[in-house]
Amino acid sequence: MSTVPERSELAEQHKWALESIFESDEAWREQFETVSDRVDELTAYEGRVTESPETLLELLELREEIMREVSQLAVYANLRASEDTRNQEYQALSGKAQALSSEASSATSYIEPELQELTEADIEEFVDSEPELANYDQFFDDVLRAKPHTRSAEVEELLAELGEVTSSPSEIYSMLADADMTFPTVEDPDGDEIEISQGNFTKLLKHEDRAFRKLVHEEYYDEWEGVRNTVGTSLKKQVRKDVKVARARHYETAREAALDGPNVPVEVYDTLVDTVRDNLPKLHRHAELKQESLGVDELQPWDLYMSLTGEEGPDIEYEQAKSWIIEAVAPLGEAYQKRMAEGLESRWVDVYENRGKRSGAFSSGTYDTQPFILMNYQDDISSMYTLAHELGHSMHSELSAEAQPWHDAGYEIFVAEVASTVNETLLTHHLLETVDDDELRLHVLDEYLERFRSTLFRQTMFAEFEQQIHEHAEADQPLTPDVFDELYGDLKSSYYEPASVDDHIQREWQRIPHFYYNFYVYQYATGISAAVAIVEGIRQDGEAGEESAAAYREMLRAGGSVYPIEALELAGIDMTTPDPIESALSVYGDYLDRVAALL
């Protein structure tokens, strides 16, 4: 019987090195008390932000010192909680860290409203008087840009204090999906019993036995049906929270508020949706190729994850995946490649699934720590690509922190998803060009097409769904599980026109945690579009390719010192036009032709 192991059964080298942040939980608690006592130091400057250039610099430096310590406490607690969401001790630590973060945010909430009493000319005078303030140019620009949407110091303090409460829908959903829900055990065609989990669900849907895939599909979504009202309520509350916070800040829509944070024009979102919509026939062709390769009369939802070969891909063990990924990033330069290799040997990665572990994958860390990557590695091609993806995020953080001061090191998701997808694209080219194994090459080609399908098309479909449910809330229309089913089912039918849409797949919205991230998912789609264009430049011969790689590294090192659209311009990409999206879709079409010829 295949079961998910307890964490204690996993080898130490496959667990992330959280002791590099705090050597013990007791050390964390001691630091927590120290930092908690320091938060009040920040309130002493309230009403004095613009008193003098010297006072402003003193405050900003104190804020950095305390916030860096708060971040380390929060990351350690959250990563420990992610290891096993059933562990109440670590859930308590995470709750304490979140409360402290909220307290620290509240204690500094007066800074922006007070700064916004100044004009650009006033800021220039401050910088002339205290030159070290010039290091905060981007921060000052961002603060003044947000002036129309910043409330009084009193209201800002209240909104900051409510942060712990307004995050409740996401936290409740996570505890339900990762800690409380358990899925059935099913018998595979060989007679082995396999426990379905959040980590292995999509892998099981790649099994060559169609009846088994259908069984997994139905059993998994039947379990979600049992918590339908709970998940529907949590998503409704998340959407209404987004809308109310946007209105509190004088935005017309929640989407406008979400995109204004990173200063991304709303037109970028609309251009993405419109361009992908215009190219849905390419996705339909992909589905038709799957139908033909499987030899079925009608493509069903449990067929969508299947390889175009009609077989499961070969097993790829973690050590092999690491080796191929390191080799693949060679075009980004020796220093980049070496840094990644060292990180993989320094326990950046928490590799395998265990009971209670948070599902999915992510890259985390702070300015003062190494990166930490959560994986649920399944010894398959998809897991290898996910590892490459998260390593892209981690390397982005490493280069940004190395080049930028703390207040400019944090970058927006809009550029983060470019860094992750560049690594995926480089991995594809490397494997297709170097691995002498026709079966593996075909599966790699298929996986890359799947990445296009799931990243460019699927995430754009998610973006449409997210926009629709927020528009419902903004129009004071009801948001119920039935409404979510109807909206999601209609989109699924439109995007996957050749495939059947059953009542199980209409409930797929229930299992997508990203809907709690407030207009997050569209950035996966813009990210892959920009990444494909960047890699095309890097793969040029000779000096042109080296210059493109250098420009890309400059983009990574820029961190948050420029806005996302400007950062991509450093790498030669203009996301305010449909050109990168159309270019990526053209590559997708070319690869479909290539696979069709092979099949």
pLDDT tens digit string along 388-406? 999 999 999 999 999 999 9
Q: Is the pLDDT of residue 1 over 60?
A: no
pLDDT digits (tens, 9 = 90+) for 187-222: 999 999 999 998 889 889 989 899 999 999 999 999
Q: Residues in the chain, how many?
A: 599
* Distance from C-alpha of 141 to C-alpha of 227, rounded to nearest angstrom: 45
Task: Please give the model's pTM, rounded to 2 decimal places.
Answer: 0.85
Predicted local distance difference test score (pLDDT) of residue 434: 94
> Closest Cα partner for 460 from 494, 415, 434?
494
Predicted local distance difference test score (pLDDT) of residue 310: 67
Please report which confidence band the pLDDT of residue 161 belongs to, taking 50, 70 and 90 as the band edges: confident
Retrieve residue 597's tokens.
Answer: 């010829």
Q: If you average pLDDT over every residue of the chain, what do you get?
A: 94
Q: Pick the catalytic residue: 103, 390, 424, 466?
A: 390
Please report which confidence band the pLDDT of residue 154 belongs to, taking 50, 70 and 90 as the band edges: confident
Is residue 156 annotated as part of the catalytic site, yes or no? Answer: no
* Distance from C-alpha of 543 to C-alpha of 326, rounded to nearest angstrom: 22
Once rounded to an integer, what is the mean pLDDT over residues 473-478? 96
Once rounded to an integer, what is the mean pLDDT over residues 429-451? 89
pLDDT digits (tens, 9 = 90+) for 76-123: 999 999 999 999 999 999 999 999 999 999 999 999 999 999 999 999
Please report which confidence band the pLDDT of residue 439 belongs to, taking 50, 70 and 90 as the band edges: confident
Predicted local distance difference test score (pLDDT) of residue 2: 61
Question: Which residue type is seen at 453?
Answer: R
Please report which confidence band the pLDDT of residue 467 belongs to, taking 50, 70 and 90 as the band edges: very high
Per CATH, the homologous superfamily of domain 9-166 is Oligopeptidase f, N-terminal domain (1.20.140.70)
pLDDT digits (tens, 9 = 90+) for 337-377: 999 999 999 999 999 999 999 988 999 999 999 999 999 99
Please report which confidence band the pLDDT of residue 138 belongs to, taking 50, 70 and 90 as the band edges: very high
Predicted local distance difference test score (pLDDT) of residue 86: 93
Question: What class has domain 169-346+380-599?
Answer: mainly alpha
Domain ranges within the chain, ordered by starting residue: 9-166, 169-346+380-599
pLDDT digits (tens, 9 = 90+) for 41-79: 999 999 999 999 999 999 999 999 999 999 999 999 999
Cβ atoms of 484 and 503 within 8 Å: the answer is no
Once rounded to an integer, what is the mean pLDDT over residues 511-538? 94
First to last CA, the chain: 35
Following DSSP, what letter does each residue of 313-338 receive, concatenated? Answer: PPP--HHHHHHHHHHHTGGG-HHHHH
Q: What percent of the chain has pLDDT over 90?
A: 87
